[in-house]
Amino acid sequence: MNKNKNLQIHKKLNHFSWLPSLHEKAILLGERLSKKYKSSHMLDNTRMLRDGDIFLLSPGENFSTEELLLLAEKKFPSALVADNSEKKFLTHWFEKKYKHYSEPLMDVYYLESLKELSGFLTSAFYDYPSKKIKVCAITGTNGKTTVVNAAALAFAGFEEACASMGTLGLIVYRKDIDSIQKQKIFDFELTTPSAALLQWFLQKLSKDGVKRLFLEASSIGIVQGRMLGCEIRNAALTNITDDHIEYHGSKENLESAKTLLFTIPNLESAVFLNSDRQKKRIYEKISKKLSPHVNTVLVSVQSNKKNSDINLKINSASEDSTVVDYESDARNIMGVKVPAIGKHNIENAAIVAGLMFASGKSSEEIVFGLKEFETPPGRMDFLKSKNCPLVCIDYAHTPDALMHILKTLRPQSRARKGKLFCVFGCGGGRDKMKRSQMGRVVAEFCDGGFVTSDNPRFENVEKISEETIEGIETKHRDRWKIINDRSKAIHYSILNANKNDVILIAGKGNEKYQLIKSKKIPFSDYLEVQSAFEKRKIN
């Protein structure tokens, strides 16, 4: 990260505002367009655009202004909203393109700072949907996906319909007699969707009877203003570790980006982990910026109850669940079985409990939610087959997440009287500094394994693997092999392991592709493991 980029991000953070100076102008335009185009949608995504909609022209790294116009015109939008800076170009483009038409084929409106204000514009256009749905935003390096989905599931048991939005897409959880039904609505390319797309989905969810939305708020999404114009009632922080440092420029900028979420106007409650020194330090930093009207809820795991509103004391753990004691001022409930393992997952469960506590749920209701806690696909999924090693697939792709998973799996390998191996890689175009850190973590917490590819994008996979293995001390290098073909690495690890061993396949989780250059190549860790199991049986 160069110093100029660091300074740019730092300046952006210092000048960030949840209510930019021209937001009222955007609101007025949104209300005006809502009355004029009553049957239209307002979108910044050409793929979702339909005949008669309003298109927000927001060129960026992937598409130029002209490319977006050519894509949009094929969908026959009724109107176009563009930034003031595009006026000269658009005037010339339309005159040249449609000089033979007596009337323009679409209405054009201009707004200063459109990209920054699109959330306010679309919120007003859709009649302020975040006022009709209680939006809860979860930020943190790891655990966001688990928390938003587990929280939506827990709250749906009491409030008919709730939704989660983030890495796994948009999922609606709806109560149906004695069970919760899940419905996948949409897949996103980004953890936090654009401001315009967020408002479009909020109005859709509101019409479908959804009462709460749990939203993953990435640090990049916060800084880029993707939640501007959205009213957020509740927020929670899972943790902050060194991820996306190359984008933010420094750990300080990363922490400041996360902190911004808790300065949003009209925030009602905030939930924080109070389990260790680092989490306490971050909470103390954020608490200085919290409005005095915000209800702060502290939760912990294996801590002293007097310092937290809720503490989950771990008693025992099996291969698929953890027994905890629920401790709060209202009531202590012993022997609660949470269907998840690993302290990091119990911390995620504690945050869900904190969100329920903040909303006024009773201890009995919170414990019911803990018993229904569920990790999403690709998070500590165990695959078993006769006479084969135990395989765990997990999305862990940061040093901290990898450390927690390996710490959780070590007791399992010991209980099986086997070794613990890991198959992992590092993504291309992302946080190069964490590659050697990942190497150091695996070298410390497991017995060996394989460095392989994990979404190399436009980088050379051989170079990524070499930079990753540099973190492994020379004296331990003989335990590690570089096999850049991920399929071959998975197969080799399973075919050559002892049946008592445990193998972690980390980094991709439930992803069904490899990102190589600009292409998504179909790939599934799950399918590769099943294939390796079958080969092992034959051999």
pLDDT in tens, 349-384: 999 999 999 999 999 999 999 999 999 989 999 999
Length of the chain: 539
Task: Read off the amino acid at residue 292.
Answer: P
Say what the pLDDT of residue 277 is.
Answer: 66
Residue 289 CA to residue 47 CA, distance in Å, equals 40
Would residue 263 be called left, alpha or beta, if left means φ above 0 and alpha means ψ between -120 and 50 degrees?
alpha
**For residue range 411-434, what is the model confidence (pLDDT) as tens digits?**
999 999 999 999 999 999 888 888
Q: Which pLDDT score is estimated for 150?
A: 97
Average pLDDT over residues 46-73: 91
Q: Tokens at residue 473, please?
A: 């001390």
Residues 142, 240: contact at Cβ < 8 Å? no
Q: How confident is the model at residue 1 (pLDDT cuts 50, 70, 90)?
A: very low
Output the pLDDT for position 243.
Answer: 58
Two tokens, residue 479: 């335990």
Residue with the bigger pLDDT between 175 and 81: it is 81
Residue 287: what pLDDT? 85
Do 164 and 151 contact (CB within 8 A), yes or no?
A: yes
Environment class of residue 401 by beta-carbon count within 10 Å: exposed (0-12), middle (13-18) or buried (19+)?
buried
Cα–Cα distances in Å, from 162 out to 129, 205, 271? 15, 9, 19
CA distance 270 to 286: 10
**pTM, full prediction:** 0.90
Per DSSP, the three-state class of 504 is: strand
Least trusted range by pLDDT, from 238-247, 315-324, 378-387, 445-454: 238-247
DSSP state of 340: -
Geometric angle at alpha carbon 480, from 478 and 482, rounded to 5°: 120
CA–CA distance, 232 with 223 (Å, rounded to integer): 16
| Residue 101: pLDDT over 70 | no
Residue 430: what pLDDT?
Answer: 81
Q: What φ, ψ does residue 220 adopt, rounded to 5°?
A: -65, -40
Q: 242: pLDDT confidence band, cut at 50, 70 and 90?
A: low
Q: Cα–Cα distance between 336 and 373 in angstroms, integer?
A: 11
**Residue 95 or residue 354, greater confidence:** 354
Q: Tell me which of 190 and 6 has the higher pLDDT.
A: 190
For residue 322, give both structure tokens: 């953890």
- Model pLDDT for residues 175-228, shown as the tens digit of each residue: 888 889 999 999 887 778 999 999 999 999 999 999 999 999 998 899 899 999
Q: Which two tokens stand for residue 485?
A: 């073909």
pLDDT of residue 6: 56
Q: Which residues contact 486 (CB under 8 A, 6 or more apart)?
A: 423, 425, 452, 453, 454, 514, 523, 525, 528
pLDDT for position 248:
59
